[in-house]
Structure 1
Amino acid sequence: MLTAVLRTYLRPYRLQLSVVIVLQLAASITALFLPTLNARLIDDGVAKGDTGFILSTGGVMVAITFGQILCTIGAVYFGARASMGFGRDLRAGIYHAVGGFSDQEFSSFGAPSLITRNTNDVNQVQMLVMLTCTMLVSAPLMCIGGVVMALRENLDLSWLLAVSVPLLLLAITLVITRMVPLFRQMQKLIDAVNRVLREQLTGLRVVRAFVREPLEGERFAKANSDLTETALQIGRYQALMFPIVMLIVNVSSVAVLWFGAHLIDDGSLQIGQMSAFLNYLMQILVAVLMATVMAVLIPRAAVCADRIKEVLDTVPAVDRPAQPQTPATRTGTVELRGAQFSYPGAETPVLTDLDLTCAPGTVTAIVGSTGSGKSTLVGLIPRLFDVTGGQVLVDGIDVRLQDQDELCARIGLVPQQAYLFSGTIASNLRYGKRDATDEELWEALRIAQADDFVAELAEGLEAPVAQGGTNFSGGQRQRLAIARAVVRRPQIYVFDDSFSALDLGTDARLRHALRPTVTEATVIIVGQRVSTIADADQILVLEDGVTVGLGRHEELVRTCPTYGEIVRSQLPAELSA
């Protein structure tokens, strides 16, 4: 999964990565020659008192050092640009993939997990790319080149390399193999913390109303402590790794000095050669140490890449047709033919064999008990999810064969839970029509019975809106959501229980003001109030996803027991109000 993600999203940065590799190789090669030059400086210059040799060799070493610095700076610069661009493109890829998800995929992943995958997980993979550009490219060359150069200096000390390097690799491998499962568990625990925190912040008023702060505090403490304990376990392994590395490095250095001193005493090794061998040993072990750092990051990045690839590889249940069909005439006619919908794994369907035609210029109301499938039915029209049986047609063509953007552009949907985006009232209303004028916005607000409270705000249309519209009441949010749909002037209006937070007077005034605007449009209303749906041209009564009544109000009161029961339970209260 990791290689697949890197291969796909690093492709545009191949040139920059090639420059990074060249610069890192140049920096590594120059670094390999410095210990040898230093050895010659000591043995052939300092030992013999040759000032000219010292100056010339020292000058070469300074020039090589400056070249190494420039190459390293260039490699870090281009590596940073490539990794930042990679992270940006990967986040954009996840965002676009999630944007095509249906409700089914959203429910499967969950919003907290999707947010974590697009932030924390991408950061981990991006960090791997960055450090690979700056460290992993040079580590193998430094290790192999260091071994070759060290053996050139002296073969008698080569056994130290044969012992120290494998020992270091073995120690690192033992630690890393125990960290990989913890990294996988840690990402899931981050999801859990985000999920609990998001639920508590979103439902803060409910938590306080039911005095559940202690219980919610315990839930968060449990999720937080699980994450902390896993992070501590990983930290313990990481804390163990570096002392092991440093112990092996220091013991190897002492061994070089000890055995090198004996060889110097025997005359088979010069001081400069021992210094060069020690430097090469340090380069080899530092290269292994860099590989160690990468070995810590790679498992976690691999886990994150698996989670990212899972999102990118998810095929949305609502797919876009390769060759979309366009209706010959666009009037807004909605038709359901034997429509059926079942959630994955459900034993019984939510909707069963529904037949319904909603014509332009008519109002169709949908009513039924809680869980009867009303919201599911209206969600099929803009393809929030697709039928599992039968057809949903708009203007005579199955919605699955139409371009979804064009289809949704003809539908004004007001969801059951009115949601406003952070910004201003004007920016929220222009979600319905991007180029709408202020006059159009005020007209939509007037129809939605929202112009009065908006006019009272000091900023008017530019009044700020908090995320979710939490700085407005439930009724105000619903009216603004209705105005947002009205601004679009769509051919099909879908109101999913959108009048529930309005008092009876406001409800009646809104429907009266809305009527002239929707005379040629298809209007579908999901409602619970009889007063809201009584004057509809046709009323569909659902019970457990099955049609139990279809007709006008007066007819259904006589012929449909389910509808009659709904009317009898509400009319006395509404008449008395």
Structure 2
Amino acid sequence: QRAFTWTLSGVVSNLITLLLTLGVMLRLSWSITLLALLLLPLFVIPARRMGARLAHLEREAADHNAAMTTQMTERFSAPGATLVKLFGRPAREEAEFGARAERVAQIGVRTAMGQWVFLTALSLVSALALALVYGLGGWLALHGRLEAGTVVTLGLLLTRLYAPLTALASARVDAMTALVSFERVFEVLDLEPLITEKPAARRVPDGPVAIEFDGVHFAYPSAERVSLASLEEVATLDTRSGVEVLHGVSFRVEPGQLVALVGSSGAGKSTIASLVPRLYDVDAGAVRLAGVDVRDLSFDSLRETLGMVTQDGHLFHDTIRENLRFAAPEANDDELWDALGQARLAALVESLPDGLDTVVGERGYRLSGGERQRLTIARLLLARPRVVILDEATAHLDSTSEAAVQAALVEALAGRTALVIAHRLSTIRAADAIAVIEDGRVVEHGTHTELLAAGGRYAELYRTQFEDDSPSEAIA
């Protein structure tokens, strides 16, 4: 801000003053003017060196400030602070933060002292130049080669010459330090978005929506495509491409169907779910909604059609009302209570002193795990999407809460297409079809009864995890 408002305008006005003053001085006495200009390098060279030095300090301070911001966000947040206390590390975190803060303070002092010394040195040079002008001018006046009044005028003009020179030298220093901030800003602005919308993007066709995976291959992008070295506090980012995690995945979820994805941990279930809302783009093959490749759909249409609840549903540090309205900003209180009722959370919210105006805290830490998850489910229900993706959405619920939410989901999902990463036997049995994912491939597909009869991987998972027919057990 200072670079554009004060420094830039100051450079323009000082240049005009400098050129006008120089023109008048040359007209009065070119010899004395040239003598005064002999000291000009004493302005330029220190400005270059001081600018580079201050820019280095500014860059170091920016790095430390970024690291402290990250530390405050991660370590001093509610979950982070709890983890620090549990592992008995408050003293170490405090010392690390204090060391960075002290270094930033030291840099500030060094920067201020450097600028003071720089400006003092420039003032000394201008005083020296003034002495030379009066010395040479006085000698010329004594020998009758120059009027005494002209010497005085040149001396006064010299102050008008070196004042803008000093300001311009300082402006260079300010500009070089400002460039450090520009570098960080433009680094972020120049980072190409990983997902872009086509100019002629389409809307999802009206009516029920089918999900189709057609020969999908996918590898997570390398670090240099999704982040910056300056943000990661490393010299260079890893340029290696990710290992392919999905290999020719193909299956179809018909309109109104509920398909469950089961498999071992790390098999690729969550990756598959993330490709439908286009959090990433496939490397080969296609993901389609209602027969249209998701890469050809507009972002707005995609978000209106899809609703997703992850296993770690995020809540903002805001009221219950605003967290729900994030999905439907125009929703009235009746609609909010209806969604809470379907998620079996209305009684709890009614019991709170502030009701819908209760602040849930950072990431919803004032609610229990099950309550947080039910609130995210209520937010999904409020959005009324045509396609629902549940990524282990009931993982944090006890059996009683899960049964209540499952009953609500049966009603809410009626007539909607649903892709569910299942870990509960009740969900798996209720699914119209089951896709078994192993090592990034669909190894089996069918109904619960069909897959058990086939005696394959699903039957093995079932025997090891559900032999006691307990809905509290999990596949993955």
Residues 490-499 or 308-317, more deviating = 308-317
- How many percent identity over aligned positions? 29
CA distance in 1, matches of 2:469, 2:85: 31
Q: 1:242 — aligned with what?
A: 119
CA distance in 2, matches of 1:318, 1:422: 28
Shift of 1:225: 5.0
CA distance in 2, matches of 1:201, 1:469: 15
Q: 2:28 — aligned with what?
A: 153
Shift of 1:555: 3.6
Q: 8 Å contact 1:183–1:299 — kept in the other structure?
A: no
User: Which TM-score applies when normalising by structure 2?
Assistant: 0.86
Query: Which of 20, 32, 42 in structure 2 is aligned with 1:167?
Result: 42
CA distance in 2, matches of 1:288, 1:323: 55
The answer on 1:293 being equivalent to 2:189 is: no
Q: 2:372 — aligned with what?
A: 477
The answer on 1:456 being equivalent to 2:333 is: no
Q: How does 1:3-402 map to 2 (within 5 A)?
A: 126-202=1-77, 203-224=80-101, 227-228=104-105, 231=108, 234-235=111-112, 237-270=114-147, 272-344=149-221, 345-402=240-297
Q: 8 Å contact 1:176–1:295 — kept in the other structure?
A: yes
Does the residue aligned with 1:524 lie in a helix, a strand or coil?
Answer: strand
Shift of 1:481: 0.9
Shift of 1:448: 0.9
Shift of 1:162: 2.1
Deviation digits for residues 354-390 of structure 1 (CA, Å, limit 9, x no counterpart): 1121122221112233322222111111111111111
Shift of 1:442: 0.9
Q: 8 Å contact 1:449–1:510 — kept in the other structure?
A: yes
Q: 2:331 — aligned with what?
A: 436
Partner amino acid, structure 2, of 1:138: S
Shift of 1:562: 5.6
Q: 8 Å contact 1:508–1:532 — kept in the other structure?
A: no
Distance 1:310 1:174, change over 3 A: closer
CA distance in 2, matches of 1:463, 1:190: 33
Q: 8 Å contact 1:497–1:525 — kept in the other structure?
A: yes
The answer on 1:569 being equivalent to 2:444 is: no
Q: 2:424 — aligned with what?
A: 529
Q: 2:447 — aligned with what?
A: 552
CA distance in 1, matches of 2:150, 2:452: 104
Q: 8 Å contact 1:320–1:403 — kept in the other structure?
A: yes
Q: 1:71 — aligned with what?
A: none
CA distance in 2, matches of 1:576, 1:532: 11
Q: 1:78 — aligned with what?
A: none
Deviation digits for residues 94-120 of structure 1 (CA, Å, limit 9, x no counterpart): xxxxxxxxxxxxxxxxxxxxxxxxxxx
Q: 1:52 — aligned with what?
A: none
Distance 1:136 1:315, change over 3 A: same
Shift of 1:337: 0.7
Partner amino acid, structure 1, of 2:465: S
Shift of 1:226: 5.2
Q: 8 Å contact 1:337–1:391 — kept in the other structure?
A: yes
Shift of 1:250: 2.2
Shift of 1:422: 3.5
CA distance in 2, matches of 1:552, 1:223: 58
CA distance in 1, matches of 2:114, 2:459: 66
Partner amino acid, structure 1, of 2:264: S
Shift of 1:316: 1.7
Does the residue aligned with 1:341 lie in a helix, a strand or coil?
Answer: strand
Does the residue aligned with 2:280 lie in a helix, a strand or coil?
Answer: coil
Residue ranges of structure 1 left out of the alignment (5+ in a row) = 1-125
Q: 1:73 — aligned with what?
A: none
Q: 8 Å contact 2:50–2:173 — kept in the other structure?
A: no
Residues 151-160 or 421-430, more deviating = 151-160
User: Which TM-score applies when normalising by structure 1?
Assistant: 0.72
Distance 1:308 1:353, change over 3 A: same
Shift of 1:433: 1.9
Partner amino acid, structure 1, of 2:299: Q
Residue ranges of structure 2 left out of the alignment (5+ in a row) = 222-239
Q: 1:35 — aligned with what?
A: none
Deviation digits for residues 322-349 of structure 1 (CA, Å, limit 9, x no counterpart): 2123455431211111112101334521
Deviation digits for residues 7-65 of structure 1 (CA, Å, limit 9, x no counterpart): xxxxxxxxxxxxxxxxxxxxxxxxxxxxxxxxxxxxxxxxxxxxxxxxxxxxxxxxxxx
Aligned residues: 452
Q: 8 Å contact 1:557–1:567 — kept in the other structure?
A: no
Q: 8 Å contact 1:147–1:161 — kept in the other structure?
A: no
Query: Which of 314, 320, 329 in structure 2 is aligned with 1:425?
Result: 320
Distance 1:255 1:384, change over 3 A: same
CA distance in 2, matches of 1:393, 1:160: 78
For the aligned residue pairs, the C-alpha RMSD in angstroms reads: 2.6
Query: Which of 489, 498, 511 in structure 1 is aligned with 2:393?
Result: 498
Partner amino acid, structure 2, of 1:430: R
CA distance in 2, matches of 1:199, 1:217: 13
CA distance in 1, matches of 2:378, 2:293: 29
The answer on 1:487 being equivalent to 2:364 is: no
Shift of 1:463: 2.3
Q: 8 Å contact 1:196–1:219 — kept in the other structure?
A: no
CA distance in 1, matches of 2:463, 2:123: 81
Distance 1:405 1:527, change over 3 A: same
CA distance in 1, matches of 2:9, 2:312: 49
Q: 1:8 — aligned with what?
A: none
Q: 8 Å contact 1:541–1:563 — kept in the other structure?
A: no
Shift of 1:441: 1.1
Partner amino acid, structure 1, of 2:456: C
